[in-house]
Structure 1
Amino acid sequence: MRLKVDGLNSIAHLLPKAPGRCGVYELTFADGQRYVGQAVDVVTRFCTHRRNWSDIVEIAFERVGRGQLDEVERGRIRQREAAGVPLRNVVHTTGRLGASELDVLLPPAAQRRWLADHQPRNVRRSERPSDSVVHHRSRHLFNRLQADPRFTDELARLVGTYLRVAMPVTELTELSYWSLSALPATNAATYPRLLTVSVHALETLYVCHDRHAPQDLQICLNIDRATAKSQIRTRLGLAFMRTVDARYRIRPGVLGLQFTSPRSAQDALTRPGIVRAARKLNLDLMRKGPALNWKSHCPDLVERVLSS
């Protein structure tokens, strides 16, 4: 059913409890954007959305059993994305298609040009952000990483290359849209990280090891699966790499590449198809929202890898 809700603070009178209020809904906004969601009680959920968004003009609602909510919601999001409908969703979408805060920093036309290219760019290090609190908080972890013999010049160069080729206007998006952490606490009990590059809420490049084999480093690079497999040369190249279909709730369609040496990972970043796939994933994540791990960002480590 589809209901006009412009000006309404609640839809309790439109959806009586008796038939059920559990299901999947789609909000339509005044600017044409939409939002797909699920709720055990859509009336309660609508009130929450109304407090955050005053421009909801319509809601479409389909009753769905609790056990099918995730499946139906994901299917509806895929349908809308395939049709080119601009969504305000963050979770389950490959990328926010509507307006993004990133557009203020980097106009959409510039984003599209960068996405179509694969060449590394020079980083204007003098224009990097400066946050004294973040800098002070991460200094001791950087010093520990610097003293770790596993953190080699070759590994530093790899991370620097990744930042140059895979981040749009690296110096402007640093901290707000991507972060680089030294010795983060992620998976410390199983696969501790030596360092991690995160965009929005996802690790896009990280170096880790089995807790019981600290010398056997693994370099993991996440890229957009569809972009990587859309070109035959890239598909052929992937056949000789160790890949895994990564499953992340925040961003479906991720392909993980795993390397055992910086050299092999560096070689992968010379392949145009892989670079474009890395860019596609990172730009989608940035359009979803800002970096969530910015508090663990390590400016000293960024300077170290960019100067390698």
Structure 2
Amino acid sequence: MEKSAKIYVAGHRGMVGSALVRKLQNEGFDNLVLRTSKELDLRDQLAVSRFFDEEKPEYVFLAAAKVGGIVANNTYRADFLYENLAIQNNVIHSAYVQKVKKLMFLGSSCIYPKMAPQPLKEDYLLTGLLEPTNEPYAIAKIAGIKMCEAYRDQYGCDFISVMPTNLYGPNDNYDLQNSHVLPAMIRKFHEAKLNHSPQVELWGTGSPMREFLHANDLAEACFFLMENYSESQLVNIGTGVDVTIKELAETIQNTVGYEGKIHWNTDKPDGTPRKLMDVSKLHGLGWTHKIDLKEGIEMVYEDFKNQIVRKM
């Protein structure tokens, strides 16, 4: 990408989009096109078409999506399917119409079958049934991947897709009702420390294994792939390393400095036993992550105290 190129980052205020903006600015790209959801409703086909016609971005990072945890995904199934399909359809099609040089579509690891072998290879897409609770979101993301492939095949568009693993970082969601496991734990341990609580209750046995990637590393990988990858098959982005939920909890507990006990409520579900990305393709292209989990947790806890706690 040329330093003067006009680049549109869709979803720039979210955790992923804001990390992409920081990366691009650090690399010297200053011609960024950014719109909040109030300024541009990506579900509105006419509004998106007008935006692309007026701005004519040369490169697009499609990081905008309706997202949420298990409860939200399972409760608002129609909303998650319709809104994500609308966002993708409008942006991808307008990018084709306005001859965007390159587009990157960001998906989610939930696209893979629930019972797929571990680690998850790119080839496992559409080889089995999805996890029922987030099936509508996953179907929308799969449609986005296939749309990028189809526009590449039919029109020669340089549209690529990437699949990040579990993410954490600045601008994460710390709401205990619908946040993901890592930010939820940070908030739980922080509040338990402040309140001198004797114990923190966590769900399950602590035995499931999960992989976590810092959003800054994701942005680095996306930038690298935008510069160096132009093929139809999606690319997994992750660390290739996972930890048990128990190990994650203990790392966060030590980082926060909480000295009470952890109570594992085994009446609550564990979820999928393991969800690890196969990142051999990404490594083969020449990129590996830089931020290890302990360092990353220390970074986000500082961000949590500086940015989030003040607003509570």
User: Normalization by structure 2: what TM-score?
Assistant: 0.25
User: Normalization by structure 1: what TM-score?
Assistant: 0.25
Higher strand fraction (1 or 2): 1
Higher helix fraction (1 or 2): 2
